[in-house]
Amino acid sequence: MKVVGLMSGTSADGVDAALVSIVRRGGTPRITPLAFASLPYPRSLQQRIVELSLHGCVDDICHLNTYLGELFAKAALRVIQQSKCRPADIDLIGSHGQTIHHLPKGRREPGVGLVRSTLQIGEPAVIAERTGITTVANFRPRDMAAGGEGAPLVPYAHAVAFGHARRGRLVVNIGGIGNVTYLPPGGGVADLRAFDTGPGNMVLDAIVHESSKGQSAYDAGGRRARKGTVNRALLTKLMAHPFLTRCPPKSTGREEFGAPFVRNLLATQRQARLTVEDLLATCAAWTAEAIGSSRRWVTGEIHDVIVGGGGVYNRAIMASLRQVFEPTPVLTFDECGWSSKAFEATAFALLAYDTYHGQCTNVPQATGAHHPVLLGAVVPGSPHMLTKWARLAR
Band (394; pLDDT cuts 50, 70, 90): low
Was 354 annotated as part of a binding site? no
Q: Are strands 304-308 and 169-174 parallel, antiparallel or unpaired?
A: parallel
Q: What is the pLDDT of residue 390?
A: 54
Q: For residues 75 and 79, give the distance between their C-alpha atoms in angstroms, rounded to a whole number.
A: 6
Is the per-residue pLDDT at 387 higher than 80?
A: no
Q: Which CATH architecture describes the domain 2-150+342-393? A: 2-Layer Sandwich (3.30)
Was 12 annotated as part of a binding site? yes
pTM to 2 decimal places: 0.91
Q: What is the pLDDT of residues 28-69, one digit of tens each?
A: 899 999 999 999 998 789 889 988 887 889 999 999 999 999
- Asked if residues 118 and 141 have their Cβ atoms less than 8 Å apart, the reply is yes
Band (12; pLDDT cuts 50, 70, 90): confident
Interval 360-385 mean pLDDT = 90
- Asked if residues 321 and 305 have their Cβ atoms less than 8 Å apart, the reply is yes
Is the per-residue pLDDT at 364 higher than 90?
A: yes
Was 276 annotated as part of a binding site? no
**What CATH homologous superfamily does 156-336 map to?**
ATPase, nucleotide binding domain (3.30.420.40)
Share of the chain above pLDDT 90, in %: 86
Tell me whether domains 2-150+342-393 and 156-336 share a fold. yes
Average per-residue pLDDT in the chain?
93
Q: What is the pLDDT of residue 51?
A: 87
Was 13 annotated as part of a binding site? yes
DSSP state of 229: -
Was 368 annotated as part of a binding site? no
Was 16 annotated as part of a binding site? yes
In the chain, domain spans? 2-150+342-393, 156-336
Cβ neighbours of residue 150 closer than 8 Å, sequence gap 6 or more = 102, 104, 116, 118, 140, 141, 143, 144, 251, 367
Is the per-residue pLDDT at 393 higher than 50?
A: no
Nearest residue to 167 via CA among 149, 156, 183, 179: 183
Q: What is the pLDDT of residue 217?
A: 85
Residue type present at position 356: Y
The 10 Å Cβ neighbour count of residue 328 is 15
The 10 Å Cβ neighbour count of residue 299 is 10
The 10 Å Cβ neighbour count of residue 393 is 9
Q: What is the pLDDT of residues 307-325, one digit of tens each?
A: 999 999 999 999 999 999 9
The 10 Å Cβ neighbour count of residue 394 is 4
Was 163 annotated as part of a binding site? no
Is the per-residue pLDDT at 142 higher than 90?
A: yes
Was 225 annotated as part of a binding site? no
